[in-house]
Structure 1
Amino acid sequence: MNKCFANNNKEIIPLAIRYSLFLVFLFFISLHAFSKDVKEKPIKLQLKWRNQFQFAGYYAAKIKGFYKENQLNVEIKPGGNGIFPVEEVKKGNADIGIFDPGILLKNNAKQPLVVLATIMQSSGYCIISLKEKKILKPSDLIGKKILAEEGQGWTIFKAILLKEGLDTNKVQIIKRKKDSEEILDNEADAVVTYATSQPQRLTALGYQLNILRPEEYGVDFYGDVIFTTSKFAYKDIEKTNAFIKASIKGWKYALTHQKELIDYILTLPDVVKYGTTRKDLEIEAKEISKLIMPEYVEVGHTNIGRWQYMLNLYQKLGLASKNVTLKNFIYDDEELQINKWILPVVYVVFFVLIIIVSIIFINWQLRNRVRIKTKELQNEIDSRKLAENFANESRQQIELILESSNIGLWELDLITNKKTFNLQFKTILGFPNDFNFLEEDFFERIHPEDLVNVQPLFEILDSAMSLKRMISFRIEKATGEYINVLSSSKILFQNGVQSKISGVLLDIEDIKRKENEIIKVSEELMRRNNELKKFAYITSHNLRGPVVNLSSLYGMIDKESLDKENNLFIDKIGISITKLENTLNDLIEVVSQEKAENLKIAPININDCFQSVLQSIENQIIESGVSFTFNLGVKEISYPKHYFESIILNLITNAIKYRAEDRKLEVIVETFETDDFVGLKLNDNGIGIDLKKNKSKIFGLYQRFNPEIQGKGIGLFIIKSHIESLNGKIEVESELGKGSTFNIYFRKALNF
C-alpha cells in the first residue's frame, strides 16, 4: 500500500509542477485580454430555480469577492417556472448553468455540453404527495398525474419506473405552474421537487406527506452540477478554471457560514415575495450540506466512473442512445486518490456486518425462547383443562376421590336447613378437625366481592333447569389469607322431591397462581415480539442511509488509477456492499408485514386484481410468452387488496421464473367456493418442484430449490405469512418436469 502511494506521489508531483507552470504561463499571456473581457462582458450564471440556499455558494463567491479576486464579473440569474437552464445556455442567454444528471440526455454532438464541477454528490430530487393519496412506492404512480418541470428530476424517476418494470406512458406528466402547493388543490397527485425545502414547507402548513427518494430504489445520481457549452469552456481555459475555483471556494464558505448567507438570501426580492422564512432556509441549509457531503468528498469533485454508471443505466433503460459516450463530457478529469478511503470503508462494512449478525443471533435466541415458553404455556393449559375436567366429574367419581384426596365436602339439607362440612373442608381452610365450623363461618370468610357469585350454589332450582352448578371464588383461611377455591353443587332427589344440595370444595390456589403466571408470560412474549419487530424495523431503516452512502462512495472509486492488488481488494468490498444491500432489503421486506387487525378488509374484484398485476409485469409476460386461462367461478372476495395482489404477483412471477425451456408456459387460474373458504387454484406447466425432498421447507425463509435460477427465496414465505395471518391456508402439488399447482384458501369470515 505504501509503495503504491509513493509511486503515485512520484508521478503526481512532477505533473502538478508542470501543470502549475503551464497555468502561470497562460495567466501572464492572457491577463490583459481577460481583464478587458471582464469589463466588457460579464459571465451570466443561470440558476435552475428561484433564489434559495440551494445556490448559496454562488452568492457567497459574489458577495465575498471570490469572483472578483479571480478577475471575474459574474451576473447570477434566478430560475423559475418556464426557465430551462440548458436551453438558456444553448441559446446564449447564459454562459454557465446549474442543472442535474439529466444533462446526459440533453447533450448532443451538434452543440456539446461540458460538466465543469459537481456540487451535490447525491440527488436532492424526490416525489412528494399527500398522505391520503397512498403513493408509497413507484408502482403507485401508475395512472397518476405528476407535476414536473421539463427535464428536471423526472428522468431519474422515469429510470426507477423502467427499472421496476413499469410502463412510464401510464403516468401523466403535468407542467408546473406554481410550485409544490399545486397538489393541495388536487390539480395533481404528486410533484417532483427538491427534498431540501418543499417537504418541510408543506409539513409546516400542517399537511402529512409521503416521500419517494431515488436512492431508496437503487438510483443514486449526482445532484446539482455546473455546466456550460464546450465552446465556452475551452475558449478561455483560464477564465473557466477561475470560475470553478471561485465557485467552489464560495460553496466552502457558505457551508461554514450558513447564518451569514441566510441573512443575505432573505434580502433578495423574490425570496420575500415567495414567503420563505429564516427557519425554512435553516432547514434547507442542513439538507443541502448532506447532499454535498463536504466531510467525505472534496466540494466540486467529479468522478468519471460514476457518470459512466449513470449513462449505462440510462442506456440500459432506453432513455439514452447507445451511441452516447462521455468523451469530452467532463471538463477537468483529475486523478482521485481513493486509497485513503479503503480502510474506513472496510471498518464500516465490518461494523455493519457485525450488526446484521447480531440481529440474526438475537432473532434466533428470541425465537428459541418463544418456543420454550410456548411449550410451558401449553403444559399449563393442559393442566388447567385436566383440573376443570376433574371438577366436572360425576358425584360418584368425586366420592371415590374424596377417600384419598384432600377435597372438602359440604351438604345442605333442604328439609331441616342444616349445613354440614367434612374434615377435608376444614383442612383446606386451615382449621383443626375439632373446630365447630358453622354456616356463618363459611359465608363470613367468603371474599366480599365474591358473595353474590356464591349464592347460586345454595339455591333451589326448578326441575327444568340444570341441576349442576360450579363456581370459583376466594375464601379466607384461618391464617387470614385468601385462597382461590372451586366449588360445585348438585341437587339430590328423594321420592321425586328435592331433598339435599351436595357440594365439594377444591383448593385451586396453585392453579390460579400458575394461570396468572401464564398470563404474565403471554404478555411478556407479546411485548418482546413487538420490541423485536420495532428493533428490526428501526435497525433496517437506520441502516439504509449508511448503506446508500457506502454504495455512493464505492461508485466514486476510480479503479483505473489502482494497481491489480488494490482493484482485487475494491472488488471484494463491492461484493460485500451488494450482499449487505440484499440482506437489508430482505430484512425490510420480512419485517414490514402489517398486523391482521390493522388491515383494511374490503370487497375486491378478482379479475381486476389479476389484470392490474399482469399490467405491472407486462415486460416479463411479453418476454416469457406466457398464456393465461381464467375460470373464475367466484368473481369477488373480501380481503386486503394489497395482500391479495402481492400473493398473485409472487405466484405468477415464480411461474415465469421457473418455466420450462422446451415448451410454452401456460398458467391456469381457477376460483371456487367451499363452506368456509374462497379457493384460488393456480396451475403451471413449468419445471416443477421435488416435493419428496423439499416439501417440509418449501415455505421457509431463504429456501431455493434450483441453484441455476436467480432468486431470494422469500416469495413463498411472504405468501404463506399473508395467508395465515388472516386464518387462511395454502397447499402445493408439484412434480418435476410437469409443473406445479398452488391451492389457496381465503377464509370468508375474517374475525380478529
Structure 2
Amino acid sequence: MAISLDRRAFLRTTGLAGLALGLAACGDDGAPAASSGGGFGSVKLQLSWKKNVEFAGEYFADTNGYFKAAGFSQVELLSGGGSGTSVESGLATGRCWAGLSAPTITAPAVLQGAQLKIVGATFQKNPFAIVSLKKNPIESAADLAGKRIGVQDSNELVWNALLKANGLDASSVTRVPFQSDPSMLTSGQLDGYVGYVTSGPVRLRMEGHDPAYLLFADAGLPLVAETLTVRQETIEKERDKLKAFLAAEIKGWKDAVADPAKSAELAATVYGKDQNLDVKEQTEEAKMQNELVVTPDVKANGLFTITPELIEQNIASLAKAGLTITAEQLFDMTVLDEVYKADPSLKLS
C-alpha cells in the first residue's frame, strides 16, 4: 500500500489555533445524554489516519455489535490524516465526540488552552522507528553515527528529540532529504530512514529484502500512540457514556489482537475498501502492531491502560521535544480504571 510516511508527523499543528475558544463553545455533536437504560445515541470517533488495519479494534467493535450492546445507536468512524481536520480541532468544534491521536499532537493543544485529556492508548509503543537493512543494520542509537538517514521535514521534531535523548550531535549523522521512497534504502543511497515500523519493514520484506528496525521507544524516546482523546467535559458530564464506549473498544481490540487475518479482511474489504489495501500486507501489519498493543503491562492491567511509570516516561519524552507539560494536564486514567474494576473479565486472558 503506497502511503506517505509524513502521515505520522511527530507534531501536526493543523487547526490548533483557537482551540481554547472552540472548546468553550462546543457541545457533544447532538448525542443524547446518558440515561439509566443506556440509549447513548450516535457519536463520532475520528481516526488518526485513513481506514486501514491500524483501527481493527474499532472495526470489530462495530461489526460484532459491541458498540450497540453498550447503548450506542451508531459509532461513526471518521477518517483522519492528510490535510483533514485534526482530532484536536474536531473535538473543539464538535465534529467528533472522541478521537485517536498522539501525545505529541494533543500536548501542544492542551498547552494552548484546550480542555482535552488522553484516557487510554491502543499502542503502548509509538511505531516510529529507524528502518534499515540487516546487511547494514542500525540496532542502537549509537549506530546512527556516520550514517545517512532519510528524514522528512515533517518528522524533524521527532528526529531531533531522538538525537537529544541519546546525546548525539546532529553533525554526527548525515540527514538526507526524504520523501517516503524506500528504494533510496534498498539502492544504497541511505543507511536508514525514519518510518513507521508497522508498514516499512513489512513492505520491504514483501519486496524480498531483509529489514531491520530500531524503535524510538526502545532508543530513549518512549511514547504511546493511537491515544483515545476526549474533552474534559465528557469525563465530567458523560462519564457513564465514556465508560460504556471504552468497554466496547476493549472488546473490539481483544478480537483484533486474537485474529490478525480477520483484522486485515475487515480493513481491506469493508471499512477501507476504497483504499486499495492488500490483505496479505495488512495481515502482516496487524501482526506487527500487536507487538505494540500487547505488552507485559497490558497483559497484567488490560488493553488501553498506561502505567504511571510509562506516563512519566511520556512526559519526559515530550520535554525532549520541547513540550513541557505535566501528567495531570494530559492524562486521566481514572475512567479506564473504573471500567476494569467493574468488569475484570475485560482483561486479556
TM exceeding 0.5: yes
Question: CA shift at 1:181, angstroms?
Answer: 5.8
Q: Which amino acid is the alignment partner of residue 102 of structure 1? A: T
Deviation at 1:187, TM superposition (A): 8.9
Contact 2:250 2:304 in 1 (8 A): yes
Q: Which amino acid aligns with 2:61?
A: A
Quote how far apart the aligned CAs of 1:80 are.
Answer: 4.2
- 1:89–1:229: 8 Å Cα contact kept in structure 2? no
Equivalent positions of 1:651-670 (< 5 A) are: none
Query: Residue 123 of structure 1 corresponds to which residue in structure 2?
Result: 126
Structure 1 residues 28 and 320: CA distance shift in structure 2, 3 A: closer
SS of the equivalent of 2:291 reads helix
Task: State the match for 1:193 in structure 2.
Answer: 195
- Taking only aligned residues, the RMSD between alpha carbons, in angstroms, comes to 3.7
Distance 1:209 1:257 in 2: 24
Q: Distance in 2 between matches of 1:89 and 1:265?
A: 23
Asked if 2 retains the 8 angstrom alpha-carbon contact of 1:127 and 1:192, the reply is yes
Tell me if the contact between 2:268 and 2:277 (Cα under 8 Å) persists in the aligned partners: no
Q: Distance in 2 between matches of 1:86 and 1:171?
A: 34
What amino acid sits opposite 1:320 in the alignment? L
Query: Which residue number corresponds to residue 113 of structure 1?
Result: 116
User: Using the alignment, how far apart are the partners of 2:207 and 2:49 within structure 1?
Assistant: 22
Deviations 1:323-376 (A, max 9, x none): x2222532332697xxxxxxxxxxxxxxxxxxxxxxxxxxxxxxxxxxxxxxxx
The 5-angstrom pairing of residues 360-399 of structure 1 reads none
Q: How does 1:463-502 map to 2 (within 5 A)?
A: none
What is the Cα deviation at residue 225 of structure 1?
1.7
In 2 relative to 1, CA 297–121 (structure 1 residues): closer, same or farther, beyond 3 Å?
A: farther
For each residue in 1:610-665, what CA deviation from the matched residue of structure 2 results, as whole angstroms up to 9, or x when unmatched?
xxxxxxxxxxxxxxxxxxxxxxxxxxxxxxxxxxxxxxxxxxxxxxxxxxxxxxxx
| TM-score scaled by length of structure 2 | 0.69
Residue 213 (structure 2) aligns with: 211
Name the CA shift for 1:193/1:83 in 2 (closer, same or farther; >3 Å).
Answer: farther
Distance 1:84 1:180, change over 3 A: farther
| 1:28–1:318 CA distance, 2 compared to 1 (3 A) | closer
Alpha carbons of structure 1 residues 101 and 157: separation in structure 2 relative to 1, 3 Å: farther
Counterpart for residue 256 of structure 2: 254
2:150 aligned to 116, 135, 146, which one? 146
Q: Residue 194 of structure 2: SS of its match in structure 1?
A: strand
Q: CA deviation at 1:65?
A: 1.3
Distance (Å, rounded) in 2 between the aligned partners of 1:225 and 1:82: 20
CA–CA distance in structure 2, aligned partners of residues 274 and 53 of structure 1 = 12
Give the residue type in structure 2 aligned to 1:256: A
CA-CA distance at 1:164 after TM superposition: 2.1
**Secondary structure class of the residue paired with 1:58:** helix
1:70 is matched with 70
Match of 2:163 among 161, 174, 199: 161
The match for 1:230 is 232
State the identity as a percent. Answer: 21
Q: Which runs of 5+ in 2 are unaligned?
A: 1-32, 338-349
Q: Following the alignment from structure 2 to structure 1, what is the Cα–Cα distance between the partners of residues 300 and 184?
A: 37
Contact residue 157 and residue 214 of structure 1 kept, 8 A:
no
Cα distance in 2 for residues equivalent to 1:225 and 1:179: 28
Conservation of the 8 A alpha-carbon contact between 1:129 and 1:190: yes
CA distance in structure 2 between the partners assigned to 1:264 and 1:181 by the alignment: 30
Residue in structure 1 matching 2:303, options 294, 299, 304: 299
- Listed as ranges, the matches of 1:11-160 within 5 Å are 28=35, 34-35=40-41, 38=42, 42-43=43-44, 45-72=45-72, 73-83=74-84, 85-90=86-91, 92=93, 93-103=95-105, 105-106=107-108, 107-129=110-132, 137-138=140-141, 140=144, 144=148, 146-148=150-152, 150=154, 157-160=159-162
Evaluate the alpha carbon distance shift between residue 319 and residue 232 of structure 1 in structure 2; reply closer, same or farther with a 3 A threshold: same
Say whether the 8 Å CA contact 2:91–2:98 is kept in structure 1. no
- The size of the alignment, in residue pairs, is 297
| Residue pair 2:185, 2:192 contacting (<8 A) in 1 also | yes
What's the secondary structure of 2:327's corresponding residue?
coil
Pick one of 283, 308, 314 that aligns with 1:310. 314
* Contact in 1 for aligned 2:150/2:190 (Cα 8 Å): yes
1:712-723 equivalences in 2 (<5 Å): none
- Deviation (angstroms), 1:109: 4.8
- Pairwise mapping of residues 278-289 of structure 1 onto structure 2 (< 5 A)? 278=280, 280-289=281-290
Unpaired stretches in structure 1, ≥5 consecutive residues = 1-25, 337-752
Contact 1:129-1:209 at 8 Å conserved across structures = yes
Who is 1:662 aligned against?
Answer: none
Cα offset for 1:186? 8.3
The structure, 1 or 2, with the larger RCO (C-alpha pairs under 8 Å, 6+ apart) is 2
> Distance in 2 between the 1:194 and 1:334 partners?
30
Q: With structure 1 as the length reference, what TM-score do the two structures score?
A: 0.35
Deviation at 1:52, TM superposition (A): 2.7
Q: Would the aligned equivalents of 1:223 and 1:291 in 2 still touch at CA under 8 Å?
A: no
